[in-house]
Amino acid sequence: MFGLEKKDWNLLLFVAALVALAPFILNPFPENSAMAQFNAGYPDLMQRFVIFGIFAIGFNILFGLTGYLSFGHAAFLGVGSYAAIWMMKLLTMNVIPAIILSVIVAGIFSVLVGYVTLRRSGIYFSILTLAFAQMSYSLAYSVLTPITGGETGLQPKVSDPRILDGAIADGTIPKANLFGLEMGASFDLSIAGWVFTFNAGYYIAAIVMLASFYLAIRIFRSPFGLMMRAVKSNQQRMNYTGLNTKPYTLAAFVISGMYAGLAGGLMVAMDTQAGPERMFWTASGEVVLMTILGGAGTLIGPVLGAGVIKYMENILSKINSDILHGWFAFMPDGMEDFTVAILYPFIGKGWHLTLGILFMLVVIFLPGGLVEGGQRIRAMFGRGKAEDKPSTEPAE
């Protein structure tokens, strides 16, 4: 169905079920319970899950298939964001033109960057992409301030022309919408002690993510994807056969850049502002961590990696010493203080320490990322079932 084999179709349905049921899955604890701190089913974070999932899926097309490690993919994220915000300022607050322009502009920019950086490979390619990203950040931060807004960034104003929209009353904040449906529109469902929020912007971003995931599956299974795997395996041998691999690697780079631009456009659609911080090198490093943590070269791995990192960034970072004392108040005072002192460096502002330990453990024990961990667990249970099943083969 839709050109997919049964295995890929089941994977797509699984991802679709996850994003559709996310408000329930991400809110496992009652609203007023002590464990509600770990609930992540609020609109802003759910939107970040799917948007950075798109970013990581696109990066995986370049890194996972070709082996080219880019340290500058945040440049395309930022370029897409600026393109989307200018579309909203000049044309309309409808998110569709903004998203389309973000993909086009990011694609054009990635052609220019890829044409230069792909003249080198290995660490030299990585450093070149990092240099382009930092140059883009510096231009957006200072030199191109009239276009980018500099340090303060850009956001829609009442005075913007928006030639396709009607006049907006003074004091009213322009809001992103999809043919009148505002991205911030939400509906709360209360069941017993649970509160589940269904947000329009999240489901629109989720639909785009599913389409992006479907396209990634088609790319992975296509002859083009097979060529990319051959480049990753031994590009030099392919060159010896007389096959020019540059057009293929450039195509992968551009597709990956367009995915990043799409993520940048969606970020503006959900939160109507754009700033140079999205181009900083830490944003490029974050998508590398997402892809490796989830499983580079796999289909669902980057999505899982994006979810884990964004969850830790937004949930673990909110836990402070007062919350810890509330959790361990049943202990004797000395034991309570000792437990809090041990755990506190790993949460709150120290959440990066927890992420670093997790990343180190994955790289050492699960080189294939979280996907490999899931496969090992599945194989372990599958082996147990196979052992329990009586053998029908004759004894030798």
Answer whether residue 178 shows pLDDT above 60: yes
Cα-Cα-Cα-Cα dihedral sign, residues 290, 294, 296, 301: negative
Q: Check the CA dihedral 204-183-283-362 and report its sign.
A: negative
Q: Give the whole-angstrom CA distance, residue 302 versus residue 298.
A: 8
- Tell me the residue type at 236: Q
pLDDT for 271 beyond 60: yes
**Rounded alpha-carbon distances, angstroms, from residue 326 to 35, 193, 315:** 11, 20, 17
Would you state the pLDDT for residue 240?
84
Q: Which amino acid is at 41?
A: G
- Of the two residues 319 and 209, the one the predictor is more confident about is 209
- Domains present along the chain, CATH in parentheses: 6-280 (1.10.3470)
Residue with tokens 């052992």: 387
Encoded amino acid at 97, one letter: P
Task: Find out whether 87 and 98 touch, Cβ atoms under 8 Å.
Answer: yes
pTM: 0.93
pLDDT tens for residues 6-51? Answer: 999 999 999 999 999 999 999 999 988 888 889 999 999 999 999 9
> What is the spatial distance between Cα 276 and Cα 383, in angstroms, rounded to a whole number?
51
